[in-house]
């Protein structure tokens, strides 16, 4: 379960920002998760629920922004949205695609008091 280590990283970033900026608490965190990131949202929520206790993020709400898989089609010279690694271009059915996004996992925003 790599969601535990991802949650540990999130908590480390929160603590680092807390030391630098001195806020009282974190109220909300928005996470961007790519469709191919292999991050299980429910497992991440479970880990966060456990790890946030007795921290500045104890009452924090998680928000998820789901990002699609985007790829460049070399045949029709367009950026397209695809469902998986092995998909063909939805415009021209070309198979020569270069993935541009979809594996992201990052903190987009942190709201604090």
Strand runs labelled E in 35-96: 61-67, 69-73, 78-82
Terminal alpha carbon distance of the chain: 31
How far apart CA 82 and CA 77 sit, in angstroms, is 15
- In the sheet where 61-67 sits, what is the strand order? 61-67, 26-34, 105-112
Q: Is 47 annotated as a binding residue?
A: no
Q: Is 76 annotated as a binding residue?
A: yes
Q: Is 88 annotated as a binding residue?
A: no
Query: Which residues on adjacent β-strands are paired with residue 64?
Result: 31
Q: Is 89 annotated as a binding residue?
A: yes
- Residue ranges of the annotated binding site for Zn(2+) are 73, 76, 89, 92
- Residue ranges of the annotated binding site are 2, 73, 76, 89, 92
- Residue ranges of the annotated binding site for Ni(2+) are 2
């Amino acid at each position: 379960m790599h969601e535990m280590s991802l949650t540990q990283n999130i908590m480390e970033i929160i603590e680092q920002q807390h030391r630098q900026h001195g806020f009282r608490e974190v109220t909300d965190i928005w996470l961007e998760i790519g469709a191919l990131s292999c991050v299980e949202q429910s497992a991440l929520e479970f880990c966060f629920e456990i790890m946030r206790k007795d921290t500045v993020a104890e009452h924090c709400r998680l928000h998820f922004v789901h990002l699609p898989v985007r790829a460049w089609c070399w045949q029709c010279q367009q950026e397209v949205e695809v469902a998986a690694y092995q998909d063909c271009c939805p415009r021209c059915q070309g198979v020569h695609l270069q993935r541009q996004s979809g594996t992201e996992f990052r903190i987009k925003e942190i709201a604090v008091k």
